[in-house]
Structure 1
Amino acid sequence: MIEELLPPEAVGEDTFDDAPATTLFPEEEALLARAVDKRRREFTTVRACARTAFARLGVAPAPLLRGERGAPIWPDGIVGSMTHCDGYRASAVARSRDVQTIGIDAEPNGPLPDGVLGAVSRPEERAWLTDLLAADSGVRWDRLLFSAKESVYKAWFPLTRRWLDFEGASITVDPEAGTFSAALTVPPPQVDGRPLTGFTGRWLVRDGLILTAISVVRSPS
């Protein structure tokens, strides 16, 4: 499903099942020394997705370790993003010559826990959420908002190496087009000589899941 939200320059792989036969690199195994079974299965399967995507790009398998703030360390020349939730794992990758950054997220299509919406949303976001939730479309727009903000952060951090909290982006959703926009509310950093003021992304709701994705494709030279 995730590939439906990606541009042609990127490759996505996902699965609804864990991959028990997957062999990790020793460096990856070291990260799981004290992991419980659930964490091990998530970690292993999402990396299996990434390495399948690598193969489609013609990239050799490589260990995927954790860097600053837990962000994945991708092989040279590769950008990507990984996500997992109950019953779903996914990875999206591209060559950095084609795509600047990718951020993906998956969430269950259910309401946010009590108290979370107020912590992750801005007043203008809660205004449009009220109208959409009242329409009873079957989409949990509060959870979609949360997912979009997760994708924003995953796309933002590789470009800036800076923290961005939930207040740092204001999301608007197009319920008909399956797209969303994120206007940054922090001073815009310079990325490749241009101010970064926001992102656009796509979303999908299917099989009890909400998926969101941001891909910033490089302009032709």
Structure 2
Amino acid sequence: MIGLARILAGLFPDGVGHGVVPIGAGGELWPGEAEAVAGAVDHRRAEFAAGRHAARCAMAAAGLSGAAIPAAPDRAPVWPEGVVGSITHAEDVALAVAAPDTLVAGLGLDVEPDAPLPRDVLSEICDGGECAWLAGQTEPLRWARLIFCAKEAAFKCQYPASCALFGFDAMSVRVDPAAGALEAVFNRAYAPFPAGARLQGRFARTGGLVVAGFLRQVG
């Protein structure tokens, strides 16, 4: 858990708070949150509670007051007014980041097993340019898993602005392994993002996990 906290601190600038909570240690949900997991299996309820606890830890670390974070009909977290954030889950841990909307316009976070992407889904996740880059890497399917993780994080980062649902072909991801840097490029327009718009991110690996984070600047 300490390793994940250090990674989150390194992926985002000062002022972005982070939280790391083991699944099963989320405590009680706040009013308005439980409806999202009514009837869900036990693990999903525990995962959801850990994610909300991690989100409130992130808010506190960013100097923000704790609040309920219900789920919208599309299952996206409904952050309190003035707050932007992102929540993600691995098998046994929940991660979250949060910041005031005066500091950043959007945040996106995703965590995945640091393991090869199944080859049979590679063409669904990666486009021709990404596959050409992967072909030059050692452990290409492990890097493909990072591209999947990055696309998930970039989607979360842009979604509050566009409210657009789209597939993996809507963005292309460029990876700078030496710098731990990511860039997601829109392949077509989704207002307010024109085709060619770019989101900047970072990634890191620890404890059998890969984590990707994206941030949209204000203005």
TM-score clears 0.5: yes
Please report the RMSD computed on the Cα atoms of aligned residues, expressed in angstroms: 2.0
> Equivalent residue for 1:127?
132
Deviation track 1:39-84 (CA, whole Å, cap 9, x = no partner) reads: 0111011111111122223333222111252211000000000000
Corresponding residue to 1:142 among 133, 141, 144: 144
Change (3 A) 1:216 1:3: same
The secondary structure found in structure 1 opposite 2:33 is helix
1:170-206 CA-partner distances (Å, limit 9, x unpaired): 1110010000111110125336xx8871211100011
- Which of residues 9, 15, 30 is equivalent to 2:15? 9
Match of 2:44 among 36, 39, 48: 39
Percentage identity across aligned positions? Answer: 31
SS in 1 for 2:164: coil
Hey, what's the Cα distance between the residues in 2 that align with 1:46 and 1:165?
Answer: 25
Match of 2:108 in 1: 103
- Superposed CA deviations along residues 125-172 of structure 1, whole A, max 9, x for unmatched, are 01111211xx249x8101000000001110111111112320011111
SS in 2 for 1:65: coil
- Find the aligned partners of 2:73 and 2:136 in 1 and give their Cα distance: 38
**Cα distance 1:82–1:140, how it changes in 2: closer, same or farther (>3 A)?**
same
Q: Identify unmatched segments of 5+ residues in structure 2.
A: 1-6
Deviation at 1:21, TM superposition (A): 6.0
- Count of aligned positions: 213
Letter in 2 for 1:216: R
Structural mapping, 1:1-221, within 5 Å: 1-15=7-21, 17-20=22-25, 22-132=27-137, 135-136=138-139, 140-187=142-189, 189-190=191-192, 197-218=197-218
SS of the residue corresponding to residue 126 of structure 1 reads helix
Q: Select between 26-35 and 119-128 the one with higher mean Cα deviation.
A: 26-35
Structure-1 separation of matches of 2:26 and 2:146: 33
